[in-house]
Structure formats: structure tokens, C-alpha cells
Amino acid sequence: MKKVFRTLKPYFVGEKLVFLIGILSLILVDSFQLFIPRVIKRGVDELSLGRATTSLMLKLGFFIMLLTVGIIIMRFLWRYLIIGISRRMERRLRQAFYKHLLTLSPGWYADYKVGNLMALATNDLDAVRMMVGIGIVATFDSGFLMITSLAMMILINPLLTLYVIIPLPILSIIVGYFGKILHRRFKLVQESFASLTDRVRETISGIQVVKNYARQDFETERFKGMSTDYVSKNIKMIIVGGMFDPLIGLVIGFSFALVLMWGGKNVILASMSMGDFVAFNSYLGILIWPMIAVGWVINLYQRGKASLDRITEVFEQEPDIADSPDAIEISDIAGRIEFKNLTFRYKPDLPDILTDINFKIEPGEFVGITGRTGSGKTTLISLIPHLHDTPTETIFIDDIDICKTKLASLRSQIGLVPQDSFLFSTTLLENIKFGNFDIDDEKALQAATVAQLDKDVRDFPDGYDTVIGERGVMLSGGQKQRLSIARAIILDPPILILDDALSAVDTETEEAILEKLQEIRKGKTTIIISHRISALQTTQKIIVLENGKIIEMGNHNELLTRKGYYSELYTMQQIQSELNSENEHI
């Protein structure tokens, strides 16, 4: 228990006074409840002795009504305060969880399913909130009522109270045993729910592929199996949880039977008044809730703890790359990039992806990178914004080692457009302005014009205010790429990298985009990765990769004269272009 609340302590900042007032309100509710049997005792004793009057009964009834009103008011207050604390704790924990997810490296997400994360952010967080809110209330409430009601029962008849509490140790042993089983089974339920959620997310995201291959029935059957597993694990957990109430009911029934036998005998022998007998039964009735709450609280705690353990596992994950203690801010860079003797692999047990990379890009240069699929082009450019951990003293921006720069400041100087563009389910304009929503709309429209997107937007129903759907489902591949280019252009970064970001556009559009880029990017570094020679031949320098090594470097004309890979690629594309042209004329 201490470990749980030590983990959650940072999310309760500023709630101490509210918590104390809430607990005080809860104690007042319980105190009012405990006082009512004393009032009833007085009335029953007066009635049984024949001393009751109408005035006395009215006074006692009015007093019970006042206590009831007090219970209602205080109950609302503690619920508002303490449940409010649990909701605010949930909000802070969710925000911290989301913020932490944004710090984790892309490689971590490759091993961790999104559906599992969604389960953590929904079911698991809800279980933690229930443990903190209702769980804390039930713990204080049941503890206070159990102690005070037992005290009242002892004042009435100590021996009879002793008989009543005999079963309690047995109940504690049973609750402790089943609580451990509940913890394990609830964790299995949450893991099954995470798998189920991830299956649905993945299937819906890939619905086009599912339909193309006519796999609807297969996916339905697979989902049915996972759903059955989830229900089965829930039933196993419910069986354990469902045994609490019958066991507690057995203890309660046994206790009432003892009261009826021994208490009734005492009333008959006149060693106990009728009022005391009624009050004792009332306090035993109040004691029932704490006895039931024991199982309920254990259930809530075990569920909440299991969920918190799963959430904590994510919080314990550290990003592969973080700012070093002596990291510096960089801004207004010239755009010089230099690789020195870089050899890189993603993990120690994997082979090298890049080997002995050495080259320099001067500020304002237009540079092209090409090579066969798998030659390391994307890996190479992803290291410039430090998306993966690299050896020190191997990559420099303006002669500063990127390992010694603050990540946020480094990445703010670089615009990277990947081949697979990710778009958000919002408007075209908001997607273009994603990097900075404070940028004027006019500047966004200019960026769209440079990316040759403006012509397409004219045909959209709401122009730039058109909502493009999840992942830009309403757009073609070429439109997605051009929108991503506009998103990068609008920020006007000192370094702009296009990672095969023109592969889905036709040659004519590609030429128009590159021409505009060269015009607006004068004096700023631009790197273009492409398999098309047409996209590279106007660049000032071309780097050719093969199996993670630089095999050629120079401008278009220089590389053609060397008769290497670049020259072969150029020849093949020229032949293909001529064949396509002939086919068009046939």
C-alpha cells in the first residue's frame, strides 16, 4: 500500500486541505449514522416501560430527521471533494503518461503495441482512479465504522460483542487469499483487453488491405477468438470476486444468529433492555457495511495496483536519446553538416547499417543522395536530427557535435519530410501549419503553392478548410507528399531534408516543385533523397550509397563520366523514359 501511494504522491499536489475536509465530512456522516441507534434505543426503552409520550416521540423523530438531513449534506460534500481529488489525480496522471510517451524513442514503439497503450490510457487509468477515489473512501469509512460500531456494541454488551467478532479473523484470512488471486487474474484480463484493442485498431487502420485480400471472415474469426479469451478471463476473475459476497454473507448471517440467540436470552432474563437489543442489532447492521467493504476494497486495491504496475512499467522506460548534462542550445544555424568516420548500427547485436561515412555539406548547398533500396539512405538522414543514438564526434552541425546539442533546439532547425507522410484527421490548412499554428494563413498558402498543392485544393469542397480524414484518407499518395512538403517549407528551416518525398508525384510536378525549392531555398541547406535522376541532376553534390558505404560522390556530370552505379541508373532511366514516350505515341 505504501509503495502504491508513494508512486501516486506527485499527482496529489495541492490536495491536502481538500482531502482533510472530505475525510472530516465522511466522519461526520458516520457519526450521525452511529447516533441514530442511540435515539431509537431511547424511544424503544420508553415504549417498553410505558413512559413514552407523543411529545417525546415527536422530538425523537424530528431529531432523527435532522441527523438524516446532516447525513445527506455531508455525504454530498465528501463525494464532491474526494471523488473530485481522484478525478484530478487521474487527469494529472494521464497528462504525465501522455507527455512521457512523447519522449520515448521510435524504436520503443516498434516493440510496444498501440492497443496496449490505449488500454493503459483507458481501463488501467480508470482502475487506478477507482482505487484512489472510492477505494480511499471505502477504507476510511469502513475502518471508522468498524471501530466505532464495535465500541458502541461493547458499551451495550461486551460478551455478546465478543461472540459477534469471532468470525472476523477467518474472514481476513479468506480475503487475503482471494485478493492475491484477484490481482493476478485482473492483470491477465487487462493484457487480454490490450490485445483485443490492438487487433481492432490494426484491422480498422488496414481495412483497405483486408478488403483487397477478402480477409473479412478471417479477421472476424480471429477477433471472435480473442473476444472469447477476454470473456473467459473476465469470468475467471468474476468467479473469484463473486465468492466474496457469499462468504461475507455467511459471516453476517452467523453473527445475527448469535445476537438473536444470546441477545434474546438476555432480554428474556431482563439482563438486557429491549432498547439495548434493538440498538445492538442496529450497530451490527452498521457493521455489515465495513465487513462487506473489506472484500470490495481488496478487490479495488488489487485491480488498481495491477493497473498501476502496468502503467509504471511504461514510466520506467527511458528514451534512447536524451539531452546530455552539458547540452547547449543552437539557433540561427548556417546549415553546415559534416559526417566524420561514422559507423552506425541500430542495436549492438545487429550488423552495421552505415560504415565509415565521411562527407561535408556547406551552408546553402543543394545535395542529392541516392542508392539501391536498403543502402542506408533513410538511416543516414535520420541521424542528422539525432533521431537515433550515434557515437560522439561523428556528426556535426555548424562544427558542433549533435550529441552535445539540446534535442529540441537541434530539431527545430531541421525540416524532415519522410516518404510515408503522416497526416492528422483535421483540415488541410491545420496540417500545413502543424509545426507552428501561429503562422499566418497567407504564408501557409504560399507554401502550398511551392509544393504544387494549390491546384488540387481548388477542387476540394471546402478548399483549405476541408477535413482530410484519418491519416489523410481523402488524399492521393502524391497529395499527401506535397502536403507534407508544404508543412516543412512553411517553417523555412535552415536545413530541409526530403526523404524520397517526391516518389508519388509525376515528373512534371516534381520538376516544378524542385524549381520552386531552389528559388526559395537560396542560402539554405537542402538534401533530397531520390531514386530518380531527374530529381538529382540539378543538385550541386550527389552522394551515392551502396550497402551502407559511400561509393560515389560528385555532381551529375562528374558521376556520369565515372561510369559507375549512378551512370548505370541514369542510362536505365533514360531508356525507360524513351520506352514510355514511344508507348504514349502508339
Q: Which of 563, 564, 519, 562 is nearest to 538 (CA)?
A: 519
In a domain, 322, yes or no: no
CATH number for the domain harbouring residue 110: 1.20.1560.10
Whether residue 173 is predicted with pLDDT greater than 70 in this model: the reply is no
Of 315, 350, 382, the last residue of a domain is 315
CB 385 within 8 A of CB 410: yes
Residue 399 lies in a domain: yes
Q: What is the pLDDT of residue 213?
A: 66
- Residue 354: the pLDDT is 94
Q: Residues 86, 230: one domain?
A: yes
Whether residue 209 sits in one domain with residue 354: no
Burial class (CB in 10 A: 0-12, 13-18, 19+), 248: buried
- Looking at the structure, do residues 447 and 542 belong to the same domain, yes or no? no
Q: What average pLDDT does range 124-136 have in this prediction?
A: 86
Give the model's confidence band at 139: pLDDT under 50 very low, under 70 low, under 90 confident, else very high. confident
370 pairs with which residues across the strands?
544
Grid coordinates representing 123? 481501463
Q: What is the pLDDT of residues 445-480, one digit of tens each?
A: 888 888 888 888 888 888 888 888 777 777 888 888
Tens of pLDDT, residues 410-452: 988 998 888 777 788 888 888 888 888 888 888 888 888 888 8
- Which whole-number Å values give the CA distances from 408 to 106, 154, 330, 459, 497, in the listed order? 16, 67, 9, 38, 17
**Is the pLDDT reported for residue 73 higher than 90?**
yes
Please tell me the predicted confidence (pLDDT) of residue 542: 93
Domain boundary among the residues 475, 492, 509 is at 492
Domain tally, the chain: 3
The whole domain housing 390 covers 332-413+495-586
Residue 321 is assigned to a structural domain of this protein: no
Query: Is 249 inside any structural domain?
Result: yes
Which of 263, 290, 315 is where one domain is finished? 315
Q: How buried is residue 536: exposed, middle or buried, by Cβ count under 10 Å (0-12/13-18/19+)?
A: buried
